[in-house]
Chains A and B, each alone.
Chain A
Amino acid sequence: MIALRSKRTISIVSAISAALLLLAGCSSSAKNDASTAAPSVPKVAMADAVGAGEGALNIVIWAGYAENGSSDKAVDWVTPFEKATGCKVNAKVGNTSDEMVTLMKSGEYDGVSASGDATLRLIYGGDVAPVNTSLVPNYSTVSDFLKDKPWNSVAGQMYGIPHGWGANVLAYNPAKVTTPPTSWGAVFDPASPYKGAITAYDSPIYIADAALYLMKTQPDLAITDPYSLDEKQFNAAVDLLKAQKLIVGEYWSDYTKAVQSFESGNTVMGTSWQVIANLINGDKKVAVESIVPSEGATGWSDTWMISAKAKHPNCMYKWMDHIISPTANAQVAEWFGEAPSQTLSCAETSDKSFCDTYHATDAMYASQIHYWTTPTTACLDGRGNICKDYAAWTQAWTAIKG
Chain B
Amino acid sequence: MKTFSVWLYQHRRGRLALLLTAPMLWLVVAYLGSLATMLVSAFWSVDTFTGKLVKQLTFNNFSLLFTNHVYRDIALRSIVVALLVTVIDVLLALPIALFLAKVLPIRFRNFAVVLIVLPLWSSYLVKTYAWRTMFSNSGVLAWALKPLGITPPSYGLLATTLTLAYLWLPYMILPIYAGLERIPDSLLEASGDLGASAGKTYRNIVMPILYPAVIAGSIFTFSLSLGDYIVVKIVGGKTQLFANVIYDNIGTAGNLPFAAAAAIFPIVTVLGYLFFVRRSGALENF
Contacts and interface: CB of A to CB of B under 8 A. Distances in A.
B70 A121 contact: no
B43 A98 contact: no
Contact of B57 (A24, A99, A101): A24
A23 B252 contact: no
B141 to A, nearest CB: 12
A20 B33 CA distance: 11
A24 B44 contact: yes
A254 B129 CA distance: 13
Main SS class of interface, A = helix
B49 A98 contact: no
Interface residues of B, number: 53
B47 A35 contact: yes
A105 interface: yes
Contacts of A2: 274, 277-278, 283
B55 A31 contact: yes
Nearest to A392: B48
Contact of B40 (A23, A102, A248): A23
A1 B285 CA distance: 9
Interface string A14-53: 0011001101110110011011000100000000000000
Given A28-B56, A31-B56, A389 B136 contact: no
Interface in B10-57: 36, 39-40, 43-44, 46-52, 54-57
Given A98-B253, A102-B251, A250-B238, A266 B154 contact: yes
Contacts of A250: 155, 236-238
A157 interface: no
B240 A121 contact: no
A265 interface: yes
B216 interface: yes
Given A98-B251, A101-B254, A394-B255, A20 B49 contact: no
B55 A28 contact: yes
A401 B238 contact: yes
A25 to B, nearest CB: 5
B54 A35 contact: yes
Contacts of B237: 249-250
A398 B248 contact: yes
Interface in B115-164: 132-133, 136-139, 154-155
A119 interface: no
Interface of A: 1-4, 6, 16-17, 20-21, 23-25, 27-28, 31-32, 34-35, 39, 96, 98-99, 101-102, 105, 120-121, 124-126, 196, 203-204, 245, 248-251, 254, 257, 260-261, 264-266, 374, 376, 389-391, 394-395, 398-399, 401-402
Given A245-B238, A398-B71, 8 more contacts: A2-B283, A4-B274, A101-B254, A121-B50, A260-B136, A264-B138, A374-B49, A390-B253
